Amino acid sequence: MTLPDGEKMHGITRSELKALILEAAEKGSDRALSRIGLHDENAVHDVKELRDLLEGWRQTKSSVWKTAVRWVTIFVLGFVSFAVWSEFKSRL
């Protein structure tokens, strides 16, 4: 049931309810940020550093996987080359 802005329901108007919800949300977010140590003016820099660190981790992880695949490929090709060379050498 939708009420117009000025109409009261249980003693409170829709605009008063919105204001209460907004205030509760702001207090809750302030409390949550305070609990994790992001309540001061340095929080912006801290979050940026965390994002940079996370991006560096992702790039490193990607690089490690690419390097591992490259080494496995080189090993397999080297093994195949050695096997072919050994077979031709024994036939000569």
Residue 88, CB half-sphere, CA atoms under 13 Å: how many? 6
User: pLDDT tens across 52-80, in order?
Assistant: 999 999 999 999 999 999 999 999 999 99
**Full-model pTM:** 0.52
How sure is the predictor about 21, in pLDDT bands with cuts at 50, 70 and 90?
very high
Confidence of residue 4 (pLDDT cuts 50, 70, 90): low
Residue 60 amino acid letter: T
Give the whole-angstrom CA distance, residue 41 versus residue 9: 40
- How many Å apart are CA 68 and CA 76, to the nearest integer? 12
The DSSP line for 6-73 is T-EETTEEHHHHHHHHHHHHHHHHHHHHHHTT--STTHHHHHHHHHHHHHHHHHHHHHHHHHHHHHHH
